Amino acid sequence: MTLVRARVMDTPDDPFAGGSLRHDDDGGLLVTDGVVTARGAYDRLRSAYPHEEVLDLRAGVLLPGFVDTHVHYPQVRVIGSLGLPLLEWLDRRALPEECRLAEPSYAAQVAREFVDGLVSAGTTSALVFGAHFAPAVDALLEEVARRGPRVTAGLVVSDRGLPEPLLTTPERAYDESRALAQRWHGHGRVRYAVTPRFSYSTTEATLDACAAVLKDEPGTWFTSHVNENPAEVAAVNDLFRDALHYVGTYDAHGLLSERSVLAHNVHTTDDELTLLAGRGAAVAHCPTSNSALGSGLFPLRRHVERGVRVALGSDVGAGTGFSLLKEGLQASFMQALLGPDGLPLTPAHLLFLATRAGALALGLDVGDLSEGRPFDAVWIRPEPGDPLDVGMRNAASPDDALAKVFALGTPADVGGVWVAGERL
């Protein structure tokens, strides 16, 4: 057992439903076999457990580990290709790089860089878009298993509209996805996600193959993209003449449930939101990606009002880095830019979106530091005297201190990351 002493902040109760920031200025968390087994004021816990080893994290603040609900493993090296809209960015930047993961040694190197990126940013759980090549997905999941974050990921499948090396067939998509799911789903903290890239690059037959994998490998997850960019939406509407709308292209194949996460959904209709809410599917909002590709301003208010679950994704490499702090900050900017259509976000909203909302979207029992939860945590500890340190020490309130963490915090401020009590 270890008694963790820290300034602790988390959001066990949804701020979109009246919850607020929970804050312990000098808190104690008793961690037993990787699980928080007692929580309270440090002094009280110390009296109750006088002989436990103490881990003193009082400098800075301890937060639940971040949950990234949309991030692409093969795109680490194309982060920062700015100034192109989605389809041009894919053609000129992302897809040529994704083709390189056909080479297993290249994929293994990228896998190391990717997991380093996640962990160094304080991300402890992620829903990851894999690669189009099965050996590259193995390389990712081997690295994940070695390092320890909670990752849900799968083989990305497409059978049209992409460079030839990235294409598969419905039969091969089924066979390779199924074999990977059998190898990895439930292996340690790894879970499998059935992953058609997007309807734009996937025929009805391959969407059916995806549905078959979901059915034949019970408990696996589903993820894809939707409604990111107007040109993409128009192209999908052309390809699927019979579909009611873009969300309907997935729903018609039985792919949407409470184990589904669709990325973006910027250009969405009320019918689509009603359908997503009815299926219990979640949306990964990726603010820096939406900004970098000029995709648009995410209608968060409409999602919340219609009861669609939303969490944050970094969308590396269209997104500009692995930090969920940066995504939270950009989310708040974008809601402000929407004016009266925006949903003003408090620091508690940002923390919830970066932690507990993601855990709920991914069906994981993490995302806050309540008793009974695994100890998945990130310690934000700025250098003494730097602007984040000064800001936090002079903050008017815990919410104000947390606002400064989102405004100023970067991976350089991450002093420690734990998953199930293990320091990564």
Closer to Zn ion by Cβ: residue 272 or 315: 315
Min CB(421)–Zn ion separation in Å: 31
Min CB(363)–Zn ion separation in Å: 20
Closer to Zn ion by Cβ: residue 263 or 345: 263
Q: How many CA atoms lie within 13 A of 308 on its CB side?
A: 29
Q: Stretches 2-10, 310-318, 334-342, 410-418: which one binds Zn ion (CB under 5 A)?
A: 310-318
| Whether the Cβ atoms of residue 262 and residue 297 lie closer than 8 Å to each other | no
Closer to Zn ion by Cβ: residue 331 or 369: 331
**Cα dihedral value 263, 266, 271, 276, nearest 10:** 20
- Which residue is listed with tokens 């945590």? 377
Min CB(126)–Zn ion separation in Å: 12
- Which residue is listed with tokens 């300034």? 7
Q: Stretches 290-298, 314-322, 334-342, 413-421: which one binds Zn ion (CB under 5 A)?
A: 314-322
Helix (H) / strand (E) containing 8? strand 2-10
Min CB(373)–Zn ion separation in Å: 28
- Pairwise CA distance, residues 161 & 272, whole Å: 24
**Token reading at 121:** 């940013």
In the shown chain, the binding pattern of residues 242 to 271 toward Zn ion, with x for contact by CB under 5 A and - for none, equals: ---------------------x--------
**Token reading at 193:** 């996600």
For the chain, the first-to-last Cα distance in angstroms comes to 18
Closer to Zn ion by Cβ: residue 132 or 404: 132
Q: Stretches 93-101, 113-121, 307-315, 391-399: which one binds Zn ion (CB under 5 A)?
A: 307-315
Closer to Zn ion by Cβ: residue 315 or 327: 315
Angle subtended at Cα 259 by Cα 365 and Cα 419, rounded to the nearest 5 degrees:
30
Give the pairing type, strands 377-380 and 53-64.
antiparallel
**Token reading at 248:** 């309907």
# residues near Zn ion by CB under 5 A: 2
Min CB(391)–Zn ion separation in Å: 32
Closer to Zn ion by Cβ: residue 98 or 389: 98
Residue type, 314: S
Closer to Zn ion by Cβ: residue 11 or 152: 152
Query: According to CB under 5 A, which one of 143, 315, 327, 376 is a site residue for Zn ion?
Result: 315
| Whether the Cβ atoms of residue 112 and residue 256 lie closer than 8 Å to each other | no
- Pairwise CA distance, residues 10 & 29, whole Å: 13
- Which residue is listed with tokens 């034949």? 216
Closer to Zn ion by Cβ: residue 263 or 351: 263
| Whether the Cβ atoms of residue 157 and residue 210 lie closer than 8 Å to each other | yes
Min CB(72)–Zn ion separation in Å: 6
List, in sequence order, every beta strand (DSSP E) within 234-391: 260-264, 282-285, 309-312, 377-380
Note whether 98 binds Zn ion by CB under 5 A: no
- Pairwise CA distance, residues 414 & 379, whole Å: 6
Comparing every residue's Cβ against Zn ion, the nearest one is: 315
Find the binding residues for Zn ion in span 133-172 (CB under 5 A): none
Min CB(225)–Zn ion separation in Å: 6
Min CB(93)–Zn ion separation in Å: 13
Using only C-alpha atoms, what is the Rg of the chain?
21
Min CB(100)–Zn ion separation in Å: 18
Closer to Zn ion by Cβ: residue 232 or 368: 232
Q: Which residues bind Zn ion (CB under 5 A)?
A: 263, 315
